[in-house]
Amino acid sequence: MTLVYIGLGANLGQPEAQLRSAFSALDALARTHLQARSRLWRTPAWGHSRNRITATPRLAWKRR
């Protein structure tokens, strides 16, 4: 098994729901298991965009 960390972020629509959906989609991938995830972090945006929410999942990935 290989551990994989992915940085995720969203700031449009419903960002919390989008990140939760992303966690589920990652866990559903073949040979992949969502082991853990960070909490959802609200971070200030730069410029004129909305504040964003970020998170990092830890996945276990099994090679063929």
How many structural domains comprise the chain? 1
Instruction: Say how far apart CA 1 and CA 30 lie, in whole Å.
Output: 13
The residue range of the domain holding 15 is 2-61
Q: Taking the CA atoms of 2, 25, 35 and 8 in sequence, report the sign of the dihedral they define.
A: positive
What global pTM score does this model have?
0.83
Confidence of residue 58 (pLDDT cuts 50, 70, 90): very high
Asked if residues 37 and 23 have their Cβ atoms less than 8 Å apart, the reply is yes
Per-residue model confidence as pLDDT tens digits over 12-41:
899 999 999 999 999 999 999 999 999 999
% the chain with pLDDT above 70: 100
CATH code of residue 7: 3.30.70.560
